[in-house]
Amino acid sequence: MLARIATFAIDGVDPRQVSVEVHIRPGLPAFAIVGLADTAVRESRDRIHSAILNSKFEFPSRRITANLAPAFLRKVGPGFDAALALAVLAASGQIPRDALAAYAVFGELSLGGELRDSPGALVVAEGARRAGLTKLIVPRERAREAALVEGLEVAGVPTLRAAADVVRGARPPELPEAPSAAAPDRAAEPDLADVRGHALPMLALQIAAAGGHNLLLEGPPGTGKTMLARRLPSILPRMTRAEAIEVTRIHSVAGLHADGLIGRRPFRAPHHTISPSGLVGGGAPPKPGEATLAHRGVLFLDELSEFQRSTLDALRQPLEDGSVAIVRGQRALVFPTKFMLIAATNPCPCGFAGIDDRCNCGEADIRRHRRKLSGPLLDRMDLLVDVGRPSERELTSGPITSSDSARRRVADARERQRARLDGTTASCNGEMDARTVRRHVTLDEPAEQALARAYSVGALSARGRHRVLRVARTIADLEGHERVSHRDLLTALGLRQQPDLASAA
């Protein structure tokens, strides 16, 4: 007898439908799995055998052949266990075969017959909906996550027995409560209200958040660069449901998240010893890297000068395209990487340049230090701000702003950008290309003059001019100015990144 059931393989962060076919015919007892399965899948024979027996079913003592189709797709991991077991039960007539047609099944089995927590259920649920299936069986821990996909009847079951019951219709599947839409717990999040002093860096953070500009924080050790960076997600606009689902999907596949919808924008701060494939994704099978885990959120690179050049250069494509393609063998996987980059570095090797006399670094040392930063990466940083040591008075005074009020300003500015950039490829000022800048950034007369002067005295390169205009547009959006004013432009100039002296000299 032949039974079929649908399940899904997780390819990067995308679902691929896999059809599980089990055929039982007379012969000496044997259980073979074919169809490009890896070790974890082939080991599932033993798990399935025990799980079926321990679930008080009968394991057929005949010749069993299981096929995972399509045969060319490499199947990895234990997520096929439940589908295989149900197909065996159906093929041996212990559960009705016809009922299986509407179901997709996903999950790993234990020897005792329990369905174990398996990462990636949200991806599977999306795949099931796309494949036109109406019902999905997942481990109970993953039910809330899978239920985020609308139009799918999700059954979260604790055991193989319960799964079989659901298929039989003997007991109605316990539908998990749909998780409430993005209502993140803001109280536990770091807030700008915790920060004392740092008026200028906070301004830069808001500009960065409002325009989606990448930001470089420069300052001596211990002044609060990391503390400031950690607060950037809290002033970014709340994620839309679609964005939240994208993020949840990635974190679910990576096994970082188990329950419901992620409401908070991710903040990833990889250590500087990270490898290129750790940062942008890679390995076999390819796994998402930190850049993808920071999708729709913030990627923070502390001690930027300590990262390997090759690692930082690997960020170029993700920054440029908002996605990264990993090619392994004949296949290319695409991981999304739309994140805001914020980096921190010491101004010189000892870290105290410009602060006090402790710094003995000469210009040559500073230049060498700067050269360690990847040029192409610096080119993507629209904003540079000095983070100094707050004064005693600032430390004892009140906070300058809270994340809530900053986020409202940011959201207003983003709203203005959306209206203006409608119909272009950019969704915020930081994404504007040269043509969009020419079309949409208008300056008033004094600002025009200041820009011309900055360019003519050599304070700006052509590229730098472009960056300054983008930032100035964002500042004007924050201030609610229709055209970029003189002050907006000067502020943008003050926060610009410096072209390296080595190239100027």
Which spans of this chain sit near other proteins (rule: CB under 8 A)?
199-200, 202-203, 218, 347-348, 353-355, 357, 360-367, 370, 384, 386, 388, 391, 394, 450, 453-454, 457-459, 475, 487, 490-491, 493-495, 497-498, 500-505
- Residue 178: partners with Cβ closer than 8 Å, 6 or more residues away: 144, 147, 148
Which CB atom, from 132 or from 458, has the smaller least distance to other proteins? 458
User: Least distance in Å: CB of 365 to other proteins?
Assistant: 7
CA atoms of 252 and 418, how far apart (whole Å): 30
Task: Render 400-450 in DSSP notation, one character per residue.
Answer: S--HHHHHHHHHHHHHHHHHHHTTSS-SSGGG--HHHHHHH--B-HHHHHH
Which CB atom, from 258 or from 450, has the smaller least distance to other proteins? 450
Shortest CA distance to 17 belongs to which of 70, 82, 87, 67?
70
Query: Residue 494: what are its φ and ψ, rounded to 5°?
Result: -65, -25
Shortest CA distance to 147 belongs to which of 260, 21, 278, 239?
260
- Residue 183: partners with Cβ closer than 8 Å, 6 or more residues away: 263
User: Least distance in Å: CB of 397 to other proteins?
Assistant: 11
Query: Residue 485: what are its φ and ψ, rounded to 5°?
Result: -90, 170
User: Least distance in Å: CB of 218 to other proteins?
Assistant: 6
User: Least distance in Å: CB of 500 to other proteins?
Assistant: 7
Beta bridge partners of 365: none
User: Least distance in Å: CB of 120 to other proteins?
Assistant: 44
User: Least distance in Å: CB of 349 to other proteins?
Assistant: 11
CA atoms of 158 and 180, how far apart (whole Å): 23
Which CB atom, from 423 or from 458, has the smaller least distance to other proteins? 458
Which CB atom, from 157 or from 460, has the smaller least distance to other proteins? 460
Residue 141 near residue 134, CB atoms below 8 Å: no
Which CB atom, from 383 or from 426, has the smaller least distance to other proteins? 383
Which CB atom, from 121 or from 204, has the smaller least distance to other proteins? 204
Which CB atom, from 209 or from 247, has the smaller least distance to other proteins? 209
Which CB atom, from 299 or from 495, has the smaller least distance to other proteins? 495
Q: What tokens were used for 24?
A: 């039982």
Which CB atom, from 83 or from 441, has the smaller least distance to other proteins? 441
CA atoms of 8 and 505, how far apart (whole Å): 59
Three-class secondary structure of residue 42 per DSSP:
helix
CA atoms of 313 and 310, how far apart (whole Å): 5
Task: Count CA within 13 A, CB hemisphere, residue 14.
Answer: 8
User: Least distance in Å: CB of 357 to other proteins?
Assistant: 7
Three-class secondary structure of residue 1 per DSSP:
coil
Helix 462-479, helix 403-421: angle, nearest 10: 110
Which CB atom, from 120 or from 347, has the smaller least distance to other proteins? 347
Q: What tokens were used for 314?
A: 């690997």
User: Least distance in Å: CB of 250 to other proteins?
Assistant: 34
The 10 Å CB-count burial string (b at 16+, else e) for 439-452 is ebbebbeebeebbe
User: Least distance in Å: CB of 368 to other proteins?
Assistant: 10
CA atoms of 333 and 10, how far apart (whole Å): 11
Q: What tokens were used for 32?
A: 């073979």
Which CB atom, from 457 or from 462, has the smaller least distance to other proteins? 457
